[in-house]
Chain A
Amino acid sequence: MADEQASIALLLRDSPLHDSFRDESAFASQFESLQRRTTRAFKPAPSYHLTFSLFAGGSAPSSWDIETAAEQYINPLLQALSSISDFTVDTQVQLHASISPAIAGPTFDTPTITWTLLASDLSGFVNAAEWPLSPGIGSGSTINLILYVPHPRQTPLTLSGGGNSWIIPQWGGVQILNPASNTTSHLSAAHIEPVMLTFADQLMSLLGVPDSPPSLSLRIAALQRERTTSLILSASSTLGALVRLTRKLQSIAIPKTVAHSVELTISHLEQACTALSEGDYAAALTSAKVAEAEAEKAFFEPSMVGQVYFPEEHKFAVYVPLLGPMGVPLVMTLIKEARGLVGRRKGKVKVG
């Protein structure tokens, strides 16, 4: 309860509602750990695409029982989280995945007879140039969960600080699996059960689910309320940005669809706030999601972005070659005459 109050205080800290919230100083001590949780998590999006990838350093293993394992361990979690966002799952297998040449790479550690990966290499481990991890088509963010099986020449592979998995903030998570034998070409569901449990854990942190009450449903309810708050804030700030843009660029024409979206956003924001005050959190979340979607649609309207309007520099560039040769003698003569006039007046004053 206190954690939730602290996290909402953190969200409201940078918004104009800052002053009306009381007792903020009480939560200042928890802000740092909460900040870490929010920077790790993805921004709220209407849908998430989960991609489970098996990257093998060599030519094996070339298949895994991901369908049954995902069905068993991940799908129940996704169903519980369905009120927050939509989820799609796809999987792939990639062979001969070489480690990025930008990092130092695993070094052989003779006392423990293992290959170790330095902590500084973890951020650059994902070889974005060669590994096909293109984001999905369509709206929504992609969460990449990678299982890496090292090359037979580099097994067993561990991290220098211990453990075998890490999270890349706002991108996904990586896990290293050292298979029992070097020649297995298929990873059975039993084999990857611990892998799936770690993936579920990583998924929860990446979605920003708070970790304090031990009950999952309470945590998800807390996440719902946090999401509602952040969606309301984001929708209102998008609307404000749109208004400021309209005021700055006077010559942009606003299409009717944008006006309609803005109306919808405002009405849904009002509904969300009333629902929150009544305690109907599920309705508040739905209204807030609609408000955010409409605000984004209004702001990124393609016909508005591509408007033809003449910037001032263009006008200057076109007219100066034509009016310059005329204007310059006029201006020079004007200056001379003015000087002469001043001189004559001074002379008259002196004489007179």
Chain B
Amino acid sequence: MHLSALLSLPASLAFLTFTLASASPHSYTEHLHLLPLPQSHLHAHFNFTATTPLSAYESSHFRYFPRSLAQILQHTRTKELHLRFTTGRWDDEAWGARPLDGTREGGTGVELWAWVDGEGSTTVAKERWSELVNSLSGLFCASLNFIDSTKTVRPVRTFEPEGHHGNAKGGLQLLHGMLPHEVVCTENLTPFLKLLPCKGKAGISTLLDGHKLFDATWQSMAIDVRPVCEGKAGEECVLEIQQSVSMALSIPRSMRERHDPIPRPARIEDVECDESKPWNGHDTCFPKALTGEPAWTLSKVFGHAAKGACDLERDDQAFDVTLEVPSDRPVNATGASELTFPSTTRRHYRLSASSSFDLSLPAHSTPLGQNSPPSPPLYATRQIAGHGQERGSMHTTLRNPHAHPLTLVYMETLPWYQRPYMHTLRLANGKQEKMYYTPALDRKRGTHLELVLTIPAESTATLTYDFEKAVLRYTEYPPDANRGFDVAPAVIRILANNESPQFAGSYVRTTSLLLSLPTPDFSMPYNVIILTSTVIALGFGSLFNLLTRSFVLAEEVPPSPLAGVVRRMRDLVKGLLGKNGDVAKDEESSEVKDGKTAEISRYMREETKGKANGIANGDADLRDRRARGSP
């Protein structure tokens, strides 16, 4: 059943099977497929395939297969591996079906799924999976080590092994993890290029440049390792690694020079005005929509021409670059030999080791109707609806534009802090055949939901369910907590149907979503400490001072050194300032002040003396009073 699904792949994979048929042990092939897309975009698909016989793999003698990746796979007993790095969004409406029917792309961020030999135990498989993600994270400079048990699921119907595992298939366990928050950039491209035999120094891999690749509207890097057994007698199985980079870039944006990336408007003389608009005049111009194909050059789009060729054990009929344009479009190719094939829309070129290859296509106006791309099997979008920080609902729209019904598997992995209520799951305009559901456990695993749905012809199905948001502990929030948390994209796989065999095995992925959870005020610990310290200082301090302070007369206070310094400084400043005439006034006032204080102090001294005398002569006083007679 699965083999038939594999065999019924659409015709666009024909060129891939050409290279697969010649998979001898220790081989390497590379290929670039260029396809102009509507709205001035260009789709470029780089494919690098290397094989090694399984006997050489097990005895660790490597030629074209990268040794660093092979060591990881051997150590963790991984039999089949699929790793994807994706950014951007593929515009279904404008560009049609996804390249290779979505089998060589992943969800936004990083997606990883592998068949691991768990020797019959789920704990052993989990340990090996965790070792695998940690080692891959080191190899690719990506934080894959965050794929822990909260992000790992075991899909049931969504993925099938692409390799031929023979009898060992029963013992393999499939594990899948996604990181939608991961940012993919040049530091992931460099280890990817290091795995290639020609290392980005010769052949089509020289076109891969971090600046242009990550400036594209959509790009996906994929690594697929699988065992292939041709079944021919006497030939052993090989282990094949397919590295592919798929990108959809905007031609005018990529053609901008690197030193001048700012987009500038064209001069008014070069702009064509739409004359059917009512306001069209000599000073008002509405630019006409661009029709037709713009002119582009391969070296300008990728930054430089392709240098040399990576020809390792290649046969004479192999070609490196395929350009898919209608036959009436003129193309200038330099530095490569063109191979003639009976196909009218494709041109094939074979690079030579000693020259650099460049393609240039002049502008071309296409007649209407020629440029409609093949339509995808399904249009899927997903949103989070609702308001507030307590609850929300997930809303998925699946539109089937074809004249026959579609059967598909819809898989979703939700984080544990998004708690769905499955009793609110509603499907409008579709039929739910089966449901595989694993509920979430707080901080241990997320929700795993797989639905087998049937959507009738030319209709739109809507899938909704409510969920509740959890409040996290304050250490579990990321540094930019108010941005929200990413929810992984949903993976949709089209199943074989009696009426639509041509879409079986295609994958469509929705976009990832941003979930805003209730965030606490992170400045509260600081506020509490400050408030407590202030209250204690004011309250305790004042009370303590009131209780323990002894009040003495001003002159009994020994002059503190600080007061002396302050007085000296003040006198100095006054002396400097008062040189111009205010001397007399100051002297007077200070005299008066001094006089007053002298008086007061004299009075106080007398009093104290009196008092002291009184104390000393207290007996005399008493005697006096007694003498006077007690009143």
Interface residues of A (CB under 8 A from B): 51, 59, 62-63, 66-67, 88-96, 98, 130, 132, 134, 136-138, 185, 321-322, 324-326, 329-330, 333
Contact = CB atoms under 8 A, between A and B. Distances in A.
Contact of B63 (A93, A132, A137, A138): A93
B66 interface: yes
Given A62-B312, A137-B135, A326 B59 contact: no
Interface stretch (B437-445, B492-500, B540-548): B540-548
A95 B197 contact: yes
Contact of B61 (A59, A91, A95, A134): A91
Contact of B67 (A89, A132, A324): A132
Contacts of B544: 329-330, 333
B63 A63 contact: yes
Given A63-B63, A96-B199, 4 more contacts: A89-B60, A90-B61, A137-B135, A326-B540
Nearest to B558: A343
A59 B198 contact: yes
Contacts of B67: 51, 90, 92, 132
B72 A137 contact: yes
B533 A321 contact: yes
Nearest to B197: A95
A261 to B, nearest CB: 22
Contact of A90 (B60, B310, B353, B533): B60
Nearest to A340: B550
Contacts of B545: 329
A96 B312 contact: no
B541 A63 contact: no
Nearest to A54: B63
A98 B197 CA distance: 13
Interface in B185-215: 194, 197-199, 201-202
A152 to B, nearest CB: 12
B61 A66 contact: yes
Nearest to B353: A59
Contacts of A95: 197-199
B355 interface: no
B26 interface: yes
B75 interface: yes
A326 B544 CA distance: 9
A94 B196 CA distance: 9
Nearest to B544: A329
Given A90-B60, A90-B62, A91-B61, A63 B26 contact: yes
B202 A96 contact: yes
Contacts of A59: 198, 202, 308, 310-312, 353
A51 B530 CA distance: 60
A88 B75 contact: no
Nearest to A51: B67
Interface in B60-100: 60-64, 66-68, 71-72, 75
A316 to B, nearest CB: 14
B541 A132 contact: no
Nearest to B61: A91
Nearest to B534: A325
B548 A88 contact: no
B75 A137 contact: yes
18 contacts: A62-B64, A62-B312, A63-B63, A90-B61, A91-B60, A92-B62, A93-B64, A94-B199, A96-B201, A96-B202, A134-B68, A134-B139, A137-B75, A321-B530, A322-B529, A325-B537, A326-B540, A329-B541
A96 B206 CA distance: 12
A333 B60 contact: no
Given A93-B63, A96-B202, A137-B71, A321 B197 contact: no
A330 B548 CA distance: 10
B265 to A, nearest CB: 42
Interface in B519-546: 529-530, 532-534, 536-537, 540-541, 544-545
Nearest to A95: B197
Given A96-B199, A137-B71, A329-B545, A322 B536 contact: yes
A72 to B, nearest CB: 14
A62 B201 CA distance: 15
A329 B202 contact: no
B61 A329 contact: no
Given A96-B198, A96-B202, A136-B71, A91 B536 contact: no
A324 B194 contact: no
A329 B542 CA distance: 10
Given A66-B61, A91-B60, A137-B75, A325 B68 contact: no
Contacts of A66: 61
B81 to A, nearest CB: 15
Contacts of A330: 544
A325 B72 contact: no
B75 A325 contact: no
A67 B59 contact: yes
Leading 3 A-B pairs by shortest Cβ distance: A90-B60, A325-B537, A96-B201
A301 B245 CA distance: 43
Nearest to B191: A132
B312 A91 contact: no
B135 A325 contact: no
A94 B537 CA distance: 70
Contacts of B72: 137
B61 A321 contact: no
B204 to A, nearest CB: 14
Nearest to A136: B71
Interface string B308-329: 1011110000000000000000
A185 to B, nearest CB: 8
A322 B528 CA distance: 10
A326 B536 contact: yes
A185 B62 CA distance: 15
A134 B140 CA distance: 13
B314 to A, nearest CB: 11
A282 B99 CA distance: 63
Nearest to B63: A93
B241 to A, nearest CB: 14
Contacts of B529: 321-322
Given A93-B62, A324-B533, A329-B544, A132 B202 contact: no
Given A59-B310, A134-B68, A329 B540 contact: yes
A47 to B, nearest CB: 14
Contacts of A91: 60-62
Contacts of B75: 137-138
Nearest to A96: B201
Given A91-B61, A96-B201, A130 B536 contact: no
A352 to B, nearest CB: 18
Nearest to B545: A329
A321 B308 CA distance: 68
A159 to B, nearest CB: 26
Contacts of B533: 321-322, 324-325
A321 B532 contact: yes
A67 B25 CA distance: 15
A94 B199 CA distance: 9
Contacts of B194: 130, 132
Interface centre among B311, B353, B548 (most CB of A within 10 A): B548
Given A95-B197, A96-B199, A130-B194, A62 B63 contact: yes
A58 B540 CA distance: 80
A333 B548 contact: yes
A132 B353 contact: no
A176 to B, nearest CB: 20
B537 A132 contact: no
A333 B547 CA distance: 11
A117 to B, nearest CB: 21
